[in-house]
Structure 1
Amino acid sequence: MTDEIKVPDAGTADKAKLTVAILVVIAGVAGYYVLAGRPAWLRWTPVAGSLALAALVLAFSRYGREFRQFVELARVELRKIVWPNRQETGMTTLVVFIFVVVAGIFFWLLDLGLAWATKLITGQGS
């Protein structure tokens, strides 16, 4: 028994909106290159404007509705999280700090031991 997930196909209007959004961004990038000799802020203005306009066009498509629904569900899940209090955060930070110090000492001693063994094997220590 297999359950297939059915994804609704985007309608013609949504595909047209997506195409328009892509063309708007391409036009903004083209505007960037057309204004090659101008100051940077003036060259980036068409790019920023085209991105804003493309986002506005996409917001009124099925993709925009799905994105808004995703953001709303993510916010609901974010509210369900039990965040640690100040004491738990401090204790966890202290444990991590101590572990890092202990690991650093361990690797320092391991390095000293391997350096000693390498000098002993290669005869460079005498």
Structure 2
Amino acid sequence: MSNPQVETVTTGADKAKLAGAVLLLVAALVAFYLLSKQGALVQWGALIVLLLAAAGSFFTSESGKSLIAYGQDSMREVRKVVWPTRKEAMQMTGYVFAFVVVMALFLWLTDKTLEWVLYDLILGWRR
């Protein structure tokens, strides 16, 4: 299996877009708190507009474009999944519950056996 080298090229414009997105995000938070006396409509409007501008700036950068591509690839892979039928899902759930019950009984039996061996046989403590 080869180990391909991953190269990331970041241009100055891309860095500026990311810095602008961060500044717009900070401006959105600052505006939200500074405009609290102007009324809820102005306060929330400024927050939403500045957040949308920050998202727009981020999604036009290379990082944003690669995030969008990752999301599209993920959705494409999810469509390829063969989901179990209801009957198969119920059977597997039943198997899991049965296994849990068997393991619980096994662990309880092991605990009680060790308790009996240690406290009653070895130490001689009677309850």
TM-score by length of structure 1 reads 0.74
Residues 1:115 and 1:58: Cα distance change in structure 2 (over 3 Å): same
Residues 1:45 and 1:119: Cα distance change in structure 2 (over 3 Å): farther
Count how many residue pairs are aligned between Structure 1 and Structure 2.
121
Aligned residue for 1:60? 60
Q: Deviations over 1:26-70 (max 9, x none)?
A: 3445567768x99xx9xx959x64554432220111111111111
Residues 1:28 and 1:106: Cα distance change in structure 2 (over 3 Å): same
Offset of residue 7 of structure 1 = 2.2
Instruction: Work out the CA distance in 2 between the residues paired with 1:70 and 1:25.
Output: 23
Gaps of 5+ in 2: none
For the aligned residue pairs, the C-alpha RMSD in angstroms reads 3.1
Q: What percentage of aligned pairs have identical amino acids?
A: 33
Residues 1:105 and 1:57: Cα distance change in structure 2 (over 3 Å): same
Q: Which runs of 4+ in 1 moved over 6 A?
A: 32-35
Instruction: Work out the CA distance in 1 between the residues paired with 2:59 and 2:7.
Output: 19
Instruction: Work out the CA distance in 1 between the residues paired with 2:51 and 2:124.
Output: 66
TM-score by length of structure 2 reads 0.74
Residues 1:113 and 1:4: Cα distance change in structure 2 (over 3 Å): closer
Aligned residue for 1:124? 125
Gaps of 5+ in 1: none
